[in-house]
Each structure stands twice: as structure tokens, then as C-alpha cells.
Amino acid sequence: MIRLDKYLSEATSYSRKDVRVLVKRKSITVNGAIAGTADMKVDEKNDSVSVNNTPVIYRKFIYLMLNKPQGYLSATEDDRDPVVTDLVPEELKHFSPFPVGRLDKDTEGLLLLTNDGQFDHELMSPRKNLYKRYYAELDAPAEEQDMEIFASGMEFKEFTAKPARLEIDPDDPRKVHVEIAEGKYHQVKRMCERVGKNVVFLKRVAVGGLKLDESLKCGEVRELTAEELAIFGW
């Protein structure tokens, strides 16, 4: 059981102060009866609360999929550049979501956002061994032998990469898919450079078993479905 004002300030963009005003106006009902005070206790699981006759769905956490456009930083604030949280719809901003991991400013594609620290921790944990799949365009054709070098576990100054997968488009070997298990700084770009090619376009298309929803336009955000969350055991 939690206080009505806490319940509504967590689940909606109303502040606790707003809730007091709404109670005075008799705009809130709990199980159909007008709420008398803002500090009355409600059961988050079983009570139904409505504001202005609109039912409220109680939840504390949100899990979002963003198709990140180029030009946005994977951060919640920055003095100079736009940040990915600018793209969160107004009605979800009060949840204060943050990005799970990072994509470079010039990388597009699948980025998860949440306000659930445990979910973030779980997905970022190296023990989770979550593969990230990228589509990349290179400035020179990828070669057969590059696949072996990717699979062999490249060494970098701060880490040794787990075996990575390079798939070359047979029709255009400048187009590749790369799967990596980590998510180190500029990792895909550095791995491609190691075999003598520069990445000219990079897009993340999947994280573990979760694929980017291709119907989501660049810059669009939607909530993950229960099935998608279940992919991560959530």
C-alpha cells in the first residue's frame, strides 16, 4: 500500500502538489469512490485509480526502445549537443529514463532506455554475455580472412575482445554485419580499422534476442512489450 499522491506522482506526470489540488476538485476516484485525501493509502496492485475519469495504469519503471538518429549523444543532458532523452515523449519524461549503454553520436539504431537501475545493471553485466549486432558500411570491401581475425579475439590496449562474428554481404562486400559481446568504446570501428577498413555508417540492429523494430522511424520511441522484456528474463 502506498499513498495516493506517491502513487500518482510515480505513475503520471502529476506532482504531489497537483494531486492535492485534484483531490480538492474531486477529480480523483479510487475504486469508483471520490478520493477524500491525498495521503489515503492505495494498493498498487489491486485498486483502480482514475483522474478525470481516465484510469491510471500504475507502474514505477519503463522500458523503451529508441531508433537512435545520428547527431544525438547517449546521455541525459549535455551543454552542446542534443541527447537521446530529448526524444522521449512528453508523457513519459517524468519517469526520467536514461540510456542502457551507449551508441556513438554518429551511430544509429537500437538503444534501450529505462529508469530501472537493476535492468540496466543486468544488461550491462559482462556475465550476461549479450551479443550486439550491427550493420556497417565500410570504405573498402571486407575480405574472407577478416572473418577469422574477428573470430580470433582481437587484442586491444584495455581488453581482449571475445570472439566476434563478421558476416559479409556477398553482393556488396563493403556491407557487413558485426556481432560483438562487449560494448567497449568505438569497438566496432576499432575492429574494422584493425583489418584496414573504416566504418562510414553504423547502425545497431539487435541486442541479444531483441531486434530493432524496423517500423520505428529514426528518432521514434516505443515501450517494450512484455514479450520483448521476457527476452531478457524481465
Give me the 159-188 binding string for ligand URA, x by CB under 6 A, dash otherwise: ---------------------------xxx
Is 104 an active-site residue? yes
Q: Which residues contact 172 (CB under 8 A, 6 or more apart)?
A: none
Query: In the complex, what is the shortest distance from the CB of residue 217 to ligand URA, in angstroms, rounded to a whole number?
Result: 19
As a whole number of angstroms, the distance between CA 75 and CA 92 comes to 17
Tell me if 1 sits within 8 A of 42, measured CB to CB: yes
> Using the rule CB under 6 A, which residue among 68, 133, 189, 197 binds ligand URA?
189
Q: Is residue 104 a contact point for ligand URA (CB under 6 A)?
A: yes
Q: Which three cell numbers stand for residue 176?
A: 557487413
Q: Which of 18, 43, 104, 213 is catalytic?
A: 104
Phi, psi of 209 (to 5 degrees): -85, 5
CA end-to-end distance (rounded Å), the chain: 23
As a whole number of angstroms, the distance between CA 49 and CA 33 comes to 9
Query: In the complex, what is the shortest distance from the CB of residue 234 to ligand URA, in angstroms, rounded to a whole number?
Result: 23
Three-class secondary structure of residue 49 per DSSP: strand
Q: Is residue 12 a contact point for ligand URA (CB under 6 A)?
A: no
Query: In the complex, what is the shortest distance from the CB of residue 204 to ligand URA, in angstroms, rounded to a whole number?
Result: 6
Q: Is residue 103 a contact point for ligand URA (CB under 6 A)?
A: yes
Q: Is residue 100 a contact point for ligand URA (CB under 6 A)?
A: no
- Indicate which residues carry an active-site annotation: 104
- Residues near ligand URA, by CB under 6 A: 103-104, 107, 186-189, 202
